[in-house]
Amino acid sequence: MDVARGKVVETNSQQLTAAQQEAVAHQDGPMLILAGPGSGKTRVVTHRIANLLQIGVPAHQIAALTFTNKAAQEMGNRLATIAPGQDVWMGTFHRFCARLLRRYASMVGLAENYSIYDTSDSKQAMKRAIAAAEVSTSHTSADQIAAVISRAKNRLVSPEMMQGQSLRHNEAVAARVYPVYQKQLLLSNAVDFDDLLFHVANLLRENPELRSELDSRYRYIMVDEYQDTNLAQYAIVRSLSVDYPNLAVTGDPDQSIYGWRGADINNILDFEKDYPHVKTVRLEKNYRSAPNILRIADQLIKHNTRRKDKQLLTDREEGAPVVLRMYEDGYREADDIADQITAAIQNEGCRPQDFAVFCRMNALTRSVEHAFRSRGLPYQIVNGVEFYQRKEIKDLLAYFHLVNNPAHDVALQRVINVPTRGIGAKSIERLRDFADGNGLTLLDAARNSDQIEALPTRSATKIRQFVEMFDRLSLKATGSLEELLLHLLEQTDYRAFLRKSSVDEQDNSPLANVDELLTAAVEFDRQFPEDGSLEAFLEQVALVSDTDAFDEENDRVTLMTMHAAKGLEFPRVFIIGVEDDLLPHYRSKEDPMQVEEERRLLFVGITRAEERLQLSCCKRRALRGDLRPVVGSPFLMELPREEMRFIEPEDSNQFFDSGDEFGDESFSVDGDAPEIWDQSNDSATTNEIDEVCQLPPDELPAKKAAKKPALIPAGLKTAANLLNEQSNDDKIPLNDFRNGMIVHHEEYGAGKVTAVSGRGPKRTATIEFSSGAARSFRLAFAKLTLGEQ
């Protein structure tokens, strides 16, 4: 795994505060560390581990459970600096369970080479289960059923327990699908994400000897982000802390943001009830943020009812006021933020990595990305799973999965006709029927394809050929990943298939992705030369999370969701789209508890900022295709306006330095400005837009049309588009770089392209200059123009 250095320089334990020292010194018995944002929680936990080691606790008796690999890594790195060479187990809950489950797979009816289905795999499996269960999905959907089942598993509800309960419609449907789905998973020797926890929790509950063995094996357990644990996770740590109740959990109820995934905030709120003799430590001193940022955060979170009241204290100096800014639309918002960052880098000596832009949902990163790219501002989008969700990567990995676990039906269905080899939907359906009818896996059914009466000989032959190809491939399973992948690519002629099926000729990114996967395989081979690396590789791939993609060594502006931002910190933070229906999201507005969670999400975002913070919202936002009027988030009303600096769009001729005037009066000066803080639906702008939108295009009043970008049909150029195009004018489109092309670089002069790889912002070209030097450039940022031939 990559080694990322922590930003915080470790100091010795003398410099811990009294509260921190108290937590560090705690040895036996349960402990609850209520740690506010930026309170040095990771530092406390690592020092405590070091302390335990020092007093003679063997490293293998300690386990630290986190929610992301990133957090585990960070902890590991820090521990390495204060207690080097100690083999303390650190990792995510899911990885911990995956590991236990490998060992005790047979006890839950799995084989040790079981596969972990990712979300799309389990969705496929779900569809098949729904069909097999013969239920109607007329008033529900596969997604809804999946959600109900997921929730059930998180709450340790088994298929049997779900029967016979009085349920709502989609729950009743789910209750019928659930047992079928579980049976199919077992037959496929597979688990979904929830099963990792579910199986382990059941294992511990049903096998007292095993439970006590593991309890004594893991005598000291630490859980990070305890506020985000669900019932299954709760049950797991609880049953590992009976004989040796040395469970130390850290968390902050105010940062509980995974309720939608089954996390139960009561786990942390009731911890003291669960463990009567618990030692509770509150870390309330904040080392991260300027006081004005903390006051804003504090004011906001005070509006929640389900919480433990907590102070946020800091010694830091007062900083610049928090900015609350309104823009005309998302494009202006993105452009302005890009400009602000560019200016700060030029004039204030900031570096790209000092900045982060947070949003409620991934879709909002698009416009920001565009603005950054057009300015040559280096950035990283933190969504680690993206690469592994690309078609070509999923295809190849599906072959890997099938080699590792031939029962993996989802993988087989994915690849049996990829590349196309004449096995169509009908054949697959017959194969599936045969498998279902005889309780076989799809591969076993395929091995007996000549016995399937419904199958034409022609199809049976094709299927047999596929099985033969697969068997040849399987022979490579014990070799290196590189060897396996190369063999696979050759046997299936996959690259040719990609070239043939790619829609536009220019786009060779699928091929570049294949190369990137190859690189990853080689790298994994290098790191884990032992046997069995295929399984380990697939497990690692299955359990990567978005946050894991964050690279703090990289000098780039970071773009991510607030969920992904938890646990991180940046000197300057922008939070975009602080708008009603987005934050809080409209789906969460019915339930006051969910609204509180949304408020906590904003709290998490705000408290990531060290020095400066800007919250912004727009008058209009392009979402789901078209530009719609929006209003500011009700949360903005909860902030102490007198402490903030409010900035309106320039072209409405309004500029308010600070908050006193920020209310009604500000807006009434200009009749055109919408009352963004007013949630009522009858705001002037809303009506105006609606009204105009109903007119046929040629009847649009010219004046209004000119003023409202909202009314410009997609495809026409907006001012923002034009601007961006201009600045890109002389640059070569990314995908136009070809080997042998002659280019010109500002600094190095003329050169020839010798290699191109990567895609999107990572697209890179190697160029040999006339001086003889060769250099690689990220094309999105390099200053390259077309050279003379």
Partner DNA sequence: GATGTTCCATTTTTT
Partner DNA sequence: ATGGAACATC
User: Which among 128, 285, 566, 608 is annotated as catalytic?
Assistant: 608
Instruction: Tell me: does residue 424 bind DNA (CB under 7 A).
Output: yes
With contact defined as beta carbons under 8 Å apart, do 639 and 300 qualify?
yes
Q: Which two tokens stand for residue 30?
A: 């349960």
Total count of residues recorded for the chain? 789
With contact defined as beta carbons under 8 Å apart, do 195 and 158 qualify?
no
Binding mask 563-582 for DNA (x = CB under 7 A): xx------------------
Distances (CA, A) of 570 to 337, 375, 609: 15, 21, 5
For residues 54 and 119, which CB has a smaller minimum distance to DNA in the complex?
A: 119
Q: Which of 561, 614, 616, 633 binds DNA (CB under 7 A)?
A: 561
* Residue 95: other Cβ atoms inside 10 A: 20
Choose the binding region for DNA from 343-351, 359-367, 472-480, 682-690 (rule: CB under 7 A).
359-367
Shortest separation between residue 587's beta carbon and DNA, angstroms: 4
For residues 385 and 700, which CB has a smaller minimum distance to DNA in the complex?
A: 385
Say whether 224 is catalytic.
yes
**Amino acid identity for residue 335 in this structure:** D
Q: Which of 392, 409, 546, 580 binds DNA (CB under 7 A)?
A: 546
Which residues participate in the annotated binding site? Answer: 35-42
Shortest separation between residue 364's beta carbon and DNA, angstroms: 8
Distance CA 394, CA 270 (A): 42
For residues 297 and 382, which CB has a smaller minimum distance to DNA in the complex?
A: 382
Q: Which of 21, 86, 212, 362 binds DNA (CB under 7 A)?
A: 362
Distance CA 327, CA 618 (A): 5
Q: Which of 182, 459, 558, 764 binds DNA (CB under 7 A)?
A: 459
Q: Which of 499, 587, 717, 783 binds DNA (CB under 7 A)?
A: 587
The distance between the two most distant Cα atoms of the chain, rounded to a whole number of Å, is 82
Shortest separation between residue 99's beta carbon and DNA, angstroms: 13
Strand pairing class (774-778; 764-769):
antiparallel
Instruction: Tell me: does residue 480 bind DNA (CB under 7 A).
Output: no
Which helix (H) or strand (E) segment is 769 a member of?
A: strand 764-769
Shortest separation between residue 500's beta carbon and DNA, angstroms: 7
Choose the binding region for DNA from 299-307, 316-324, 422-430, 467-475 (rule: CB under 7 A).
422-430
Distance CA 194, CA 118 (A): 10
User: Which among 140, 250, 255, 314 is annotated as catalytic?
Assistant: 255
Write the DSSP symbol of residue 625.
Answer: T
Distance CA 143, CA 146 (A): 5
With contact defined as beta carbons under 8 Å apart, do 4 and 74 qualify?
yes
Say whether 759 is catalytic.
no
**What is the rounded radius of gyration, in angstroms, for the C-alpha atoms of the chain?**
28
**Amino acid identity for residue 9 in this structure:** V
Say whether 255 is catalytic.
yes
User: Which among 121, 171, 224, 516 is annotated as catalytic?
Assistant: 224
Instruction: Classify residue 788 by burial, with Cβ atoms within 10 Å: 0-12, 13-18, 19+.
Output: exposed
Which residues participate in the annotated binding site for ATP? Answer: 35-42
With contact defined as beta carbons under 8 Å apart, do 398 and 442 qualify?
no
Instruction: Tell me: does residue 261 bind DNA (CB under 7 A).
Output: yes
Shortest separation between residue 95's beta carbon and DNA, angstroms: 7
Instruction: Tell me: does residue 141 bind DNA (CB under 7 A).
Output: yes
Instruction: Tell me: does residue 588 bind DNA (CB under 7 A).
Output: yes
Paired with 752 in beta bridges are 742, 768
Q: Which of 27, 28, 217, 422 binds DNA (CB under 7 A)?
A: 422
* Residue 453: other Cβ atoms inside 10 A: 7
Would you tell me which residues interact with DNA (CB under 7 A)? 67-68, 92-95, 119, 141, 143, 193-194, 260-261, 360-363, 383-385, 391, 417, 420-427, 456, 459, 543-548, 561, 563-564, 585, 587-588, 594, 624-625, 714-715
**Which residues participate in catalysis according to the annotation?**
41-42, 224-225, 255, 608
